[in-house]
Amino acid sequence: MAKIHVDRLKRRYKDGDVRGAKYSELVKEIMDNNIENVQRNMYVYNKNKWKTFDKKFSAGKETKLVIPNEEDVIPKRALHILKAAESGKLIADKLRDQLTKNLRDSLFNFKEESYITRRGEKAGRINPRLIENFEKDIRGTFQNYTKKGKGLTMPSNVHSIAVTEMRSAVNNIKKEFTQKLIDDNPDIIVSKKWVHNRRLSKVPRRGHVQMERRKAIPFNNYFEVPLYKEQKGRLVKVGVTMMRHPHDPSAPIEQKINCNCDYDIIVTRKK
């Protein structure tokens, strides 16, 4: 991955003032680099493991897909935080690197249980405790960072950063892993269903609540997610966002920040 450094960005954006269209352009560039890196490194999962994994699916029987442990799927170096700026201000390289380390360590060193729930109704979904641990880690990172610089303060949205970064990373890995499974196994049928975690959402997005009521769709189709905005004191539907999964990097910020949605992947083999 071509690492995004603040000094390079300052040359491109002069004094480092990145706002509006420039900010969107910067974040998109970083997201595109991260996605490409995940795709390129997804093939570390060895062939023998793929064959073993493939045997889990039988003809005519729907099975929830639970991706293997993180270290079996993708190396640490492939993961980077997506958020390059805070309220339009560039994050220094040192802080960005430390937050990336927090993300990697949270995923690869999660010892309490699996970062993806393995059994039961919630199988295949992100373990909420993983996000709690990540939030604790990055809060400590911000505290250490703010002590060393005048005028630096703890961001007010640390929880939102933790939710958005971790769910973005894991949901994208789920997508790429599933795509490779499909590419290598033409005899399987894969679908996906949007899951809205009501218990985790203090202010649920109306469009995301509506998505959970819909049926599963083919894996390579897009979710058509309603987008609502408040107008004159009431929520009005202003459009539809086409999304591969919750936290799709290409979706507008209104559909991603602090979103606690997940998605189930259902696999069966052709008869």
pLDDT band at 47 (very low <50, low <70, confident <90, very high): low
pLDDT band at 186 (very low <50, low <70, confident <90, very high): confident
Residue 112 lies in a domain: yes
Q: Which two tokens stand for residue 116?
A: 């993806």
If we measure between CA atoms, which residue out of 240, 256, 257 comes closest to residue 248?
256
User: What is the pTM assigned to this prediction?
Assistant: 0.76
- Residue 96 pLDDT exceeds 70: yes
- Higher per-residue confidence, 159 vs 6: 159
Lowest mean pLDDT among 6-20, 75-89, 168-182: 6-20
- Residue 270 pLDDT exceeds 90: no
* Count: domains in the chain: 1
pLDDT band at 4 (very low <50, low <70, confident <90, very high): very low
Distance, CA of 192 to CA of 90 (rounded, Å): 36
Please give the average per-residue pLDDT across 35-55, as a whole number: 61
pLDDT band at 2 (very low <50, low <70, confident <90, very high): very low
pLDDT band at 264 (very low <50, low <70, confident <90, very high): very high
Q: List, in order, residues 6 or more apart from 111 with CB less than 8 Å away.
A: none
- Residue 41 pLDDT exceeds 60: no
- Residue 42 pLDDT exceeds 80: no
Contact call for residues 247 and 172 (beta carbons, < 8 A): yes
Residue 1 lies in a domain: no
Widest distance between CA atoms in the chain: 66
Lowest mean pLDDT among 94-103, 168-177, 215-224: 94-103
For residue range 106-156, list pLDDT tens digits in order. 888 877 677 888 888 888 888 888 899 889 988 888 888 777 666 666 777
Compute the half-sphere exposure of residue 33: CA atoms within 13 Å on the CB side of its CA: 18
Contact call for residues 124 and 173 (beta carbons, < 8 A): no
Distance, CA of 172 to CA of 244 (rounded, Å): 9
What is the pLDDT at residue 138? 86
Please give the average per-residue pLDDT across 30-49, as a whole number: 57
- Residue 176 pLDDT exceeds 70: yes
pLDDT band at 88 (very low <50, low <70, confident <90, very high): very low
With 0-12 / 13-18 / 19 or more C-beta atoms within 10 angstroms meaning exposed / middle / buried, residue 59 is: exposed
Please give the average per-residue pLDDT across 99-112, as a whole number: 81
pLDDT above 70 covers a percentage of the chain that reads 69
- Residue 89 pLDDT exceeds 70: no
Contact call for residues 27 and 165 (beta carbons, < 8 A): no
| Helix and strand counts by DSSP (H, E) for the chain | 8, 8
Residue 200 lies in a domain: yes
Residue 228 lies in a domain: yes
If we measure between CA atoms, which residue out of 8, 1, 93 comes closest to residue 39?
1
Tell me, letter by letter, the H, E, C secondary structure of 16-73: CECCHHHHHHHHHHHHHHHHHHHHHHHHHCCHHHHHHHHCCCCECCCEECCCCCHHHH
Distance, CA of 243 to CA of 142 (rounded, Å): 31
Residue 183 lies in a domain: yes
Please give the average per-residue pLDDT across 226-246, as a whole number: 92
Quick one: which H or E segment has residue 180?
helix 158-184
Distance, CA of 259 to CA of 19 (rounded, Å): 23
What is the pLDDT at residue 220? 95
What is the pLDDT at residue 246? 94
Residue 97 belongs to domain spanning: 6-269
